[in-house]
Amino acid sequence: MNEHVNPRHAVFPTSRLEDAEGEGLNPTANRTMGEIIANRFSRRDFLRGSLAATAIAATVSPMALISAEHARAASPKRFDFREVEAGIDTHHHVAEGYDADVLLRWGDALFPDSPAFDPVNQTPEAQVRQFGYNNDYVGFVPLSGSSEHGLLVVNHEYTNEHLMFPGIVKVVEKADKKDPTKTVTELEIAPADRRRVDIEMAAHGGTVVEIRKEGGKWRVVREGALNRRITSSTEMQLTGPAAGHDRLRTKADATGTKVFGTINNCAGGVTPWGTYIMAEENIHGYFMGTLPEGHPEATNYKRLGLPEGTYAWGQFHERFDISKEPNEPNRFGWVVEVDVMDPNSVPKKRTALGRFKHEGAESIVAKDGRVVFYLGDDERFDYVYKFVTTGRYDADNRAANMDLLDEGTLHVARFAEDGTVEWLPLTHGQGQLTAENGFHSQADVLIETRRAADLLGATPMDRPEDIQPNETNGRVYVMLTNNTRRKDDQIDAANPRAANAFGHIIEIHEDEGDFAATKGRWEVLLKCGDPSVAEVGATFSTETTKNGWFGMPDNCAVDADGRLWVSTDGNSPKATGRTDGLWAVETEGEARGTSKLFFRVPVGAEMCGPLLLPDMQTAFVAVQHPGDGGEDWDGFGRLSYYEDLSTRWPDFRDDMPTRPSVVAITKQGGGRIG
């Protein structure tokens, strides 16, 4: 998810809810990943591994360049498509020979009785029967074992008022706070009202919808008996070690086991037993107010950056005002599990997986049958986690798996200079996780997962986002989006960026290929950015073209062939001169580190998903917040809002706003993707 700027009192180019580029919330002096990478690799090792671009060829040995030429000539191409040209415009673009069809748009009907989308007459009642806003994670649960019929599950992360609602934005000129002699242009949003807030709340959450492929094209089955909308008001159950704890009890729920809704669902997952995982990420922006003086949750909330008050929900719903419901934030920041095979099932917040700004929860079955979930905490200088269930997966008994997530061990990663990684258990009573440090039970450890990880000496990372295990090669890929707060004294030949503006990807090799192992090894697969700019220090292979490099890796997917696909968040006219997109990245052999652009989004949009179906004949991607920006693009050159949008994708109609959408990509004439 994107860098944060508060949409209610900020200069727009963006209204994206994220604390990633704020002052930073990790108070520890734990050694950062940048320092560890720097100390691990010598300058010679760096140069040997960074055959990134001909622009830095002078720093690389002639023999290394000959090796790269040999790779181009001799290596079989794992990704066989003509890549898209990187750039910026109002449309989406897919590789030649493929179709990219919009399947679901914000406001589209999900049920036979859903009202037609009317952007100038929106209501909360209509929105709960329609596809929600800002689609992010996309998953698929097959029906009848088919890759052509199943349930699409989609997270709706957050809302952009200035793109959603007509008549609420005014363009104003104000004095620049940094230089009062200058002025800046801002978008001023009208004060919120109850109807608008309730529409936003209904547009959050997730969608479960039946889809079917017919004649090579996908369609929504509105009559699907399993279709449902999950929102920020849906009743949910808290389960696991923290359920029922005093710190989760409120005036509305004296038991500490029932909570209404889920918010800011970014990435997610589908479990081996076919349930839908919704991960709660940036919960801090939804709360407002002030804790009573001396309240015991003050330190806990500060570590999560709340309350920030980006949304006005607390003006109309007391549970989002911490002065009135001080424990309510402890009921968010969890992983939610939904049984999609029962449309009346109560979603469960699984507290055993910890509470932080969750970026996804991708899972895999370990050698001994236990299930492993990899989890990122999307903030600068926060951590990489994994959860290992106590129980074992039973492929022949779905019911036996339904509560596997209530018991297990949560671990946090510590990366060492010698290339090893250790997974440290976050278990009450072990190490410093004791009553002397304020942890009186496992519930306290899980409610304050970040502080517990601080005390264990976990490695602060550069915004850990999606983390994907690869069953084919036994490795794990960690997307680290960026961290521009890295200091000058961390610069050296192996890590030449004073501020990691473009992010990198780490590859973990768990011991003996066992995903449940507590130790492993790590490598940097890619340092991202423009390889033609030597000081950036990007490490794409020399086979990567000017279209193939990217910055800000965010979500990723591993397809049925074990190939890695990476989507991005933050490429823009100003940052990289291109939009976000979906890149195919080689991880094996001499072509390792080669990347090709497969799909790109319209101006202002973020690339989410992606998902490749098991038969490899469809890729789903989610285009989030199209039109959220344009002032830095020569094709528009001003702030974008409902009445004056940088793109009206995907409808391109004057009476329709821009609409976040899920896109289905298929090969023309049929066949496997990529």
pLDDT for position 457: 94
Q: What is the pLDDT of residue 72?
A: 45
Q: What's the pLDDT tens digit per position in 161-182?
A: 999 999 999 999 999 888 888 9
Do 394 and 420 meet the contact criterion of CB atoms below 8 Å apart? no
* Helices and strands in the chain: count of H runs, count of E runs: 9, 33
Residue 29 has pLDDT above 80, yes or no: no
For residues 95 and 553, give the distance between their C-alpha atoms in angstroms, rounded to a whole number: 20
Decide if pLDDT at 569 tops 50. yes
Q: What is the mean pLDDT of residues 329-336?
A: 98
Provide the residue type at 384 as one letter: V
Supply the pLDDT for residue 69: 45
| The amino acid at 119 | P
Both tokens assigned to 273: 């037993």
CA torsion through residues 228, 278, 354, 357, sign: negative
CB proximity list for 441: less than 8 A, separation 6 or greater: 241, 245, 428
User: pTM score, two decimals?
Assistant: 0.92
Q: What is the pLDDT of residue 41?
A: 57
Residue 317 reports pLDDT greater than 90? yes
Arithmetic mean of pLDDT, 485-503: 61
Phi–psi pair at 39, nearest 5 degrees: -75, -25
Distance CA 332, CA 349 (A): 9
Confidence of residue 37 (pLDDT cuts 50, 70, 90): low
CA distance 218 to 101: 9
Cα–Cα distance for residue pair 271/289, rounded to 1 Å: 37
Residue 508 DSSP one-character state: E
**Are the CB atoms for 229 and 128 separated by under 8 Å?**
yes
pLDDT recorded at residue 498: 56
Contacts of 599 (CB under 8 A, 6+ apart): 84, 92, 93, 94, 95, 100, 581, 582, 607, 619, 621, 663, 665
Work out the pLDDT band at 535, boundaries 50, 70, 90: confident
Paired tokens of 181: 């002699």
- pLDDT, one tens digit per residue, over 85-124 is 999 999 999 999 999 999 999 999 999 999 999 999 999 9
Output the pLDDT for position 618. 98
Alpha-carbon distance of 531 to 513, in angstroms, equals 32
Tokens found for residue 299: 């330190």
**What tokens does 439 get?**
């942890």
User: Looking at the DSSP assignment, which residues form a beta bridge with residue 270?
Assistant: 276
Residue 39 has pLDDT above 90, yes or no: no
Supply the pLDDT for residue 177: 86
Q: Give, in order, the Cα–Cα distances in Å from 448 to each of 71, 160, 286, 463.
A: 49, 30, 19, 19
As a whole number, mean pLDDT of residues 533-559 equals 95
Q: What is the mean predicted confidence (pLDDT) over 508-517? A: 97
Region 145-153: mean pLDDT is: 96
544 Cβ neighbours under 8 A, 6+ residues apart: 52, 531, 593, 594, 595, 596
Mean pLDDT of 546-572: 97
Contact (CB, 8 A) for 441 and 411: no
* Residue 431 to residues 28, 303, 407, 439, 452, Cα–Cα distance (Å): 17, 21, 20, 11, 10
Place of tokens 């019929």: 149
* pLDDT tens-place string over residues 391-427: 999 999 999 999 999 999 999 999 988 889 999 999 9
pLDDT of residue 389: 98
What integer pLDDT is reported at residue 488 of this predicted model?
67
Alpha carbons 336 and 255: distance in angstroms, whole number: 19
Q: Are 381 and 450 in contact (CB under 8 A)?
A: no
Instruction: Give every CB contact of residue 444 below 8 A, 6+ residues apart in sequence.
Output: 245, 247, 428, 438
Q: What is the pLDDT of residue 201?
A: 98
Nearest to 662 by CA among 11, 266, 313, 153: 153
pLDDT digits (tens, 9 = 90+) for 420-464: 999 999 999 999 999 999 999 999 999 999 999 999 999 989 999
- pLDDT tens figures, 238-288: 999 999 999 999 999 999 999 999 999 999 999 999 999 999 999 999 999
Q: Is the pLDDT of residue 566 over 80?
A: yes
Residue 34: per-residue pLDDT: 66
Per-residue pLDDT at 2: 55
Give the number of C-alpha atoms closer than 13 A to the C-alpha of residue 453, restricted to the C-beta side.
Answer: 32
**C-alpha–C-alpha distance, residues 226 and 211, integer Å:** 11
pLDDT tens for 180-233 read: 889 999 999 999 999 999 999 999 999 999 999 999 999 999 999 999 999 999
Please check whether residue 38 is in contact with residue 397, taking contact to mean a CB–CB distance below 8 angstroms.
no
Residue 16: the pLDDT is 42
The separation between the first and the last C-alpha atoms of the chain, rounded to the nearest angstrom, is 26
Distance CA 436, CA 312 (A): 38
**pLDDT at residue 272, rounded to an integer:** 98
Residue-wise pLDDT tens digits, 66-93: 334 444 444 455 899 999 999 999 999 9
